[in-house]
Structure formats: structure tokens, C-alpha cells
């Protein structure tokens, strides 16, 4: 939509960030006009003081832009800006979305159904098995799995999603041409083929510590909800969870051993009421059912027909994605409470109904 070279030049101005870039482009119409503006004109934009206006008006940045495009072309990457149609809608809705993203692979409309899985780099076998199982199940539902390509939980989540033939997006804290950790280079290439690898860090950028909190806001920003599997109380996954809460996104936590430090983070989230305790993919689907309804219906249609009794059919017709209490279900199906319970249990065994605490039921 815009001259990418000029957008890169603008992004290299000292003291400028995504918010100011968006404000300037909104005011002037495009990056080329921003760079051509006088200091006085630039100062009319909210948040642009005299010093920053002077920096913009006198800035060159051609060498930076040329080098970035050269490096990007070398890895067959591209830049997606917030003004482009394929920029993810979920990410646009956060407080401070990136003005531009460096991308390997491509975003897809399917990514509107996305869940992040994050956790410690030093995962236990329990954590790895849980991450693998949740990722496989989400991928089979058609949900895009978002993670950060880090060692441990992130790596397991990406691998499992690829194994299931699903889409996965890796958000990294370095340039696309500086894979981190280095042993995940091959994994990065597989993800680019089957999804996308994304970074806000310019090409050639090293995995410096300050990049990762900002990287984490993109992980949660791309997702309907974030699952935390094993993390210390001050771990990076906990930062992602806190950001997700600030973005008004769902947070889920897998409970762990109370004596294990790597479970202290998710256990604290559950204890403090900041995350929903989950034990399987159904717990995620229940919370996100309004967002995932289309996927759930497609999954149901693709499954083989299950033989149902007359009573079971009546109960299924009554139930939907919202929970109903047993007495209400029985009354709507014109059955006694005891008959309704027996048949609902049969439907639960057949995988068509889920029971929640308090004898609440919903169709899955």
C-alpha cells in the first residue's frame, strides 16, 4: 500500500516507535509525506515534540532501508504493515500493535482462530506431554497454535502442531535471519512452510533481552487466549499471561505439582483467579466456544454418524453451546430428570455432550 522503503526509513528514526509511526502516517497519509514534512508540520501531530520532529525532518535512513530489504529478500521474506489487508485482525485490536512485521511464510484468514501455548524453556516430561497433547488437539480442530520458538514448551507446541498438519505461527525476538535458539533453524523453516514466522525486530537483530517482552505482546495479541504450561513465577510465560490479561484476552493455566518450581507460575495464576484451570482441549473450547463455533460445527459434521436413541436425539436438539442445568434440560426435552441424566451420560460417553460442575450440560 505504501512505499516500504520509506516506511523502513521512518521506522529507523531514533526515539520513534509503532504508536508514533501510526499517528504520523494517519496524519500525513503515507510515510513518504511524513519524511517530506517540515519540522513545524510534524509538531502538529500529537506526541511529536520539537526534538523528534527535528530528527524526522533531518533523517536519511536510506542505507538502513536498503540493507533491510536486501536481507529480507535473501530469506524470501516480506513486510506486512498494519495498513495491509493480511495484517491479523486480532493483533490490530491490542493497545500498541506493531506498525510493521517481518514475515516468513504468510498469515491466513484461519489465524483468526488462534490460541497461544507458552511455558518454560526447561520443561518436565509432564509439561512436554501436556503441551504436545493440547497442540495436537487444537491443530486437529483447525485452531492455529501461536508460540515463541523458544526451547522447551514452545518447541514442543510447534512440533506437535506440524505433526498434526495444523497451522502454527512463531513470534521471535530476533531478526528473521538470526534464528534463536540456533538449533531451531530447521523448525523455523518448517513453520514458514506451514504457517508463519513473525518478528518486529529488524533483519540482523540479535536476540537481546529487551526484545522479548515486546515479542510476548505479539504472541498474546495474535491469540484468542493464552495457555501457560509450566513457568516460574517470574518466567517469560507469566509476562505473556499478564499482557494477555491487559489485552482482555483469555488466559488458561495447566495445574502442576505444588512442590515443583516450574509449576509455581500457572498455579499462582489459578489461585489468584487470573487464569482458568484446564486439563484438556475441551476446557479451552468451552471458554472460546463463541469464537470457535464455526470450527466446532465443521468438526462435528466431518465425524462419522453416531447411532442415537430417540431420547438422546431429543436431548441433543435441546442442548447448544451454552450450558443448561439438568432440570431445565429435562423440562425442555419433556423427560423426567432421572431419564434425562441417564441419556445425557450416554451422550457424554459418545463424546457429544460435556458435563460441567453443578450438573450443567452443553453440546460439544
Helix (H, G, I), strand (E, B) or coil at 301: helix
Checking if the pLDDT of 305 tops 70, the result is no
The reply to whether 16 and 164 lie within a common domain is no
At 301, list the grid cell. Answer: 459434521
Which positions ≥6 away from 92 have C-beta within 8 Å?
82
Of the pLDDT bands very low, low, confident and very high (cuts 50, 70, 90), residue 301 is very low
pLDDT exceeds 50 at position 71: yes
* Rg of the Cα atoms in the chain: 24
Say yes or no: 26 and 120 in one domain. no
Query: Is residue 313 within a helix (H) or strand (E), and if so which, with residue range?
Result: helix 310-318
**Does pTM top 0.85 for this prediction?**
no
Predicted pLDDT of residue 157: 98
Give the pLDDT score at 37: 96
Q: What is the mean pLDDT of residues 229-240?
A: 95
Tens digit of each residue's pLDDT (9 = 90 or more) over 155-176: 999 999 999 999 999 999 999 9
Domain around 35: 1-69
Which of 52-56, 148-152, 338-342 bottoms out in mean pLDDT, i.e. has the lowest?
338-342
As a whole number of angstroms, the distance between CA 275 and CA 250 comes to 8
Q: Same domain, yes or no, for 254 and 325?
A: no
Mean pLDDT of the chain: 93
Collapsed DSSP state (helix, strand, coil) of residue 102: strand
Query: Averaged over 268-293, what is the pLDDT?
Result: 93
Same domain flag for 262 and 310: no
pLDDT of residue 296: 62
Number of domains in the chain: 3
Residue from 139, 137, 133, 134 nearest 162 by CA: 139
Cα-Cα end-to-end distance for the chain: 42
Q: How do beta strands 324-325 and 360-363 pair?
A: antiparallel
Of 10, 37, 69, the one marking the end of a domain is 69
The residue written with cell numbers 513518504 in the block is: 32
Q: What is the mean pLDDT of residues 295-304?
A: 51
Question: Does residue 182 have a pLDDT over 90?
Answer: yes
Q: Is the pLDDT of residue 299 over 60?
A: no
3-class DSSP state for residue 363?
strand
Last residue of a domain, one of 41, 69, 97: 69
DSSP type of residue 30: S
Residue 300 pLDDT > 70, yes or no? no
Question: What pLDDT is attached to residue 320?
Answer: 75
State the pLDDT confidence band at 294, using cuts at 50, 70 and 90: low
- Reported as a pLDDT band with limits 50, 70 and 90, residue 26 is very high
Give the residue-averaged pLDDT of 183-212. 96
Same structural domain, 156 and 261? yes
Is residue 156 in a domain? yes
- Residue 303 pLDDT > 70: no
Residues 312 and 283 both lie in one domain: no
Using the CB atoms, write b or e for 234-265: b if 16+ within 10 Å. Answer: ebbbbbbbbbbbebebbbbbbebeeeeebbbb
From CA 348, how far away is CA 364, in angstroms rounded? 9
Of 125-134, 149-158, 300-309, the poorest mean pLDDT is in: 300-309
* 5/65 same-domain check: yes
Residues paired with 226 in a beta bridge: 116, 251
For 9, phi and psi rounded to 5 degrees?
-60, -45
Amino acid at each position: 500500500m505504501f512505499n516500504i522503503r520509506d516506511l523502513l526509513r521512518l521506522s529507523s528514526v531514533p526515539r520513534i516507535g509503532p504508536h508514533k509511526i501510526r499517528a504520523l502516517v494517519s496524519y500525513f497519509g503515507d510515510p513518504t509525506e511524513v519524511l517530506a514534512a517540515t519540522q513545524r508540520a510534524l509538531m502538529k501531530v500529537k506526541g511529536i515534540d520539537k526534538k523528534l520532529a527535528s530528527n524526522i525532518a533531518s533523517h536519511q535512513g536510506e542505507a538502513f532501508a536498503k540493507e533491510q530489504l536486501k536481507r529480507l529478500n535473501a530469506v524470501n521474506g516480506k513486510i506486512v504493515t498494519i495498513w495491509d489487508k493480511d495484517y491479523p485482525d486480532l493483533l490490530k485490536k491490542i493497545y500498541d500493535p506493531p506498525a510493521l512485521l517481518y514475515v516468513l511464510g504468510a498469515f491466513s484468514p484461519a489465524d483468526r482462530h488462534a490460541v497461544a501455548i507458552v511455558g518454560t524453556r526447561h520443561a518436565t516430561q509432564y509439561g512436554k506431554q501436556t503441551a504436545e497433547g493440547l497442540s495436537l488437539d487444537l491443530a486437529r480442530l483447525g485452531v492455529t497454535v501461536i508460540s515463541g520458538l523458544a526451547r522447551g514448551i514452545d518447541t514442543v507446541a510447534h512440533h506437535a502442531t506440524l505433526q498434526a498438519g495444523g497451522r502454527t505461527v512463531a513470534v521471535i525476538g530476533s531478526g528473521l535471519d538470526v534464528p534463536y535458539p540456533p538449533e531451531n533453524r530447521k523448525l523455523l523453516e518448517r513453520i514458514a512452510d506451514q504457517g508463519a514466522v513473525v518478528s518486529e525486530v529488524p533483519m540482523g537483530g540479535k536476540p537481546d533481552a529487551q526484545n522479548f517482552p515486546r515479542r510476548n505482546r505479539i504472541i498474546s495479541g495474535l491469540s484468542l487466549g493464552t495457555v501457560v504450561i509450566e513457568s516460574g513465577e517470574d518466567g517469560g510465560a507469566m509476562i505473556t499471561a499478564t499482557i494477555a490479561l491487559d489485552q482482555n484476552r483469555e488466559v488458561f493455566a495447566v495445574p502442576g505439582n505444588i512442590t515443583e518450581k516450574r509449576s509455581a507460575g500457572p498455579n499462582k495464576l489459578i489461585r489468584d483467579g487470573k487464569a482458568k484451570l484446564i486439563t484438556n482441549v475441551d476446557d479451552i473450547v468451552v471458554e472460546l466456544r463463541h469464537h470457535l463455533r464455526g470450527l466446532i460445527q465443521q468438526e462435528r459434521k466431518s465425524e462419522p454418524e453416531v447411532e442415537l436413541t430417540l431420547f438422546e436425539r431429543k436431548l441433543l436438539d435441546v442442548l447448544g453451546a451454552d450450558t443448561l442445568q439438568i432440570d431445565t434440560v429435562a423440562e425442555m426435552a419433556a423427560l423426567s430428570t432421572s431419564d434425562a441424566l441417564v441419556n445425557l451420560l450416554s451422550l457424554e460417553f459418545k463424546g457429544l455432550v460435556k458435563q460441567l460442575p453443578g450438573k450443567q450440560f452443553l453440546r460439544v
